[in-house]
Amino acid sequence: MGPTMPPSKKAQSPSSGASASQGMSPPYRQGDAATAASEAEAADLSLSLSASFSKAEDEELTSLSWLHESTDLLNSFSHSGLRSVSPLQDPDGQHSRSPSSSSPSLEDALLGDAHSAYDLAAGANRKPPYSFSCLIFMAIEDAPNKRLPVKDIYGWILEHFPYFASAPTGWKNSVRHNLSLNKCFKKVDKDRSQSIGKGSLWSIDPEYRHNLIQALKKTPYHPYSPGLATPSTSPPTLPQTFHHSPPLWSGSPLFRKNGGVLLQVPRGVIQNGARIRSQALFPPNAEPRWSGGVQRATWLAVTLSPVLASYRSSLGDYLSRGQDSPSRYSPPLCSEDLQDDHTYSTAKSPSRLCSPSSGMDDDDDIIAVEIQSDVKPEPREIPLDSHITSAAAAANYISQQSLRGQRRSSGPGAGTLAGSSLGISDTLPLKKRRAAAVEKPPESDDEEMKEAAGSLLHLAGVRACLNNITNRTAKGQKEQKEALRN
């Protein structure tokens, strides 16, 4: 870590422009020559994914294998001709660029910009959006034996979040505090043949692993959120302090080394992706209001792959349940409030970021967030083609099916790591809480369904966005011609 880190993947990409490093929000358009091709390929994306899902299921591929599958798909998708344009405008609508300037490909955007996006988030002097619980969880999950001494947990955090290198040392206290207080973590008897010095090894309590995953799911991955992005007063330089992949990004070493463990719960990552500032969902009109600049491609990179995973299951459910066909889908609202940079708890509630859909509980809200596709303060309708319609219909159907059976307890829910989420009072002494800890209620099928639905809606949003890219491109070209005429 530190300034001697190798350049990010993006920097190695020849065609990746300065978009990511500038923290801007480049609208994406299709290359002139590739417009038709990209449109066609985009239209086939969901079908390809479906085939991949079927294959994955047929062959009982591991989640890691499926990650490779989806990665290939993404690569193909990124070659479909969709190209990201350089930012036409900065968040203030100034510094217009010529559309004919060198445009980084979507692939670059997907792979490189996402990388750099995370560089911005984690490499800069910004607190990571993850809670300590999540950080510890990721650290332990990243360990070969799924257990780490506290010292190595420190090391992992430092390695992946250089912010802490310069942060006050209190964070280590917080780590220890979390390890002790959070029953999701438990000490493991040291292997006598292993001398690790002081202390014990820490591992994830399988009983509560789900809780941690839920917590991760509720953590927004929004590297370009205004709260995380480089302050506007800072020069738009690419931070060089971080070269690792985001832990929740599908290309992360965490995933690779971990055998795709976290991908076994891909919907969580989906929600993370969705909780990139919702503007990340290809704002159709891309009003330059996102001061931090949310890279659409970043959203894709961190979202689309896991979306595929969940889409796989969603599709099966959908196909087995039939469909109805709403012709339009109105994305929910989203507020513009910035992420508070003060704490790690940036994702306490999705409703803080986006207007909740009426009558929806927390999990429903997640779905609502996932289908964010616009930053406009007013609802807008996005025309959907048949693909999107089907996907959205499926998702809506699944979601409604879930809602019928899930009108029970709301509240903090699964993301809560403290004992209260399990009905164990936090006010009890730790030991008592641990003693009183009861088995975690199994995850309901309804929740699975709802989250799958959310993923499907998300995918529908992708398609919608792709369509809007097309529209936007056409519009931009038209405007460009007019400008030339004048």
Residues forming the site for DNA (CB under 7 A): 127, 130-133, 149-151, 154, 168, 170-171, 173-174, 176-181, 187, 197-200, 202, 215, 340, 342-345, 348-349, 351-352, 412, 415-418, 420-421, 426-427, 429-431
In total, the chain counts a number of residues equal to 486
Minimum CB–partner distance for residue 142 and DNA (Å): 17
Residue (396 or 421) nearer to DNA, CB: 421
Q: How far is CA 253 from the centre of its chain?
A: 16
Residue (342 or 408) nearer to DNA, CB: 342
Q: How far is CA 480 from the centre of its chain?
A: 34
DSSP state, residue 105: B
Residue (161 or 249) nearer to DNA, CB: 161
Do residues 413 and 163 lie in contact, with contact meaning Cβ atoms separated by under 8 Å? no
Minimum CB–partner distance for residue 190 and DNA (Å): 8
13 vs 29, 80, 285, CA distance in Å? Answer: 19, 18, 28
Residue (163 or 329) nearer to DNA, CB: 163
Residue (3 or 170) nearer to DNA, CB: 170
**Dihedral of alpha carbons 265, 417, 249, 364, sign:** positive
Show the tokens assigned to 106.
């979507």
Residue (109 or 212) nearer to DNA, CB: 212
Minimum CB–partner distance for residue 269 and DNA (Å): 17
Minimum CB–partner distance for residue 128 and DNA (Å): 9
Alpha-carbon gap, residue 3 to 9, rounded angstroms: 15
Do residues 306 and 53 lie in contact, with contact meaning Cβ atoms separated by under 8 Å? no
- Kindly calculate the radius of gyration of the chain based on its CA atoms and give it in whole angstroms: 22
Q: In b/e form, how buried is each residue of 429-460, taking b as 16+ CB within 10 angstroms?
A: eeeebeeebeebeeeeebbbbbbbbbbbbbbb
Count of CA atoms in the C-beta half-sphere (13 A) of 234: 18
Minimum CB–partner distance for residue 122 and DNA (Å): 14
Residue (113 or 364) nearer to DNA, CB: 364
Torsion angle of C-alpha atoms 113, 116, 120, 123, degrees rounded to 10: 160
DSSP β-bridge partners for residue 328: 383
Q: Count CB atoms within 10 A of the CB of residue 47.
A: 10
Helix 362-370 to helix 445-485 angle (10° resolution) is 30
Minimum CB–partner distance for residue 68 and DNA (Å): 32
32 vs 53, 96, 201, 295, 380, CA distance in Å? Answer: 32, 19, 57, 21, 28
Residue (115 or 186) nearer to DNA, CB: 186
Minimum CB–partner distance for residue 402 and DNA (Å): 20
Minimum CB–partner distance for residue 472 and DNA (Å): 32
Minimum CB–partner distance for residue 108 and DNA (Å): 33
Residue (71 or 351) nearer to DNA, CB: 351
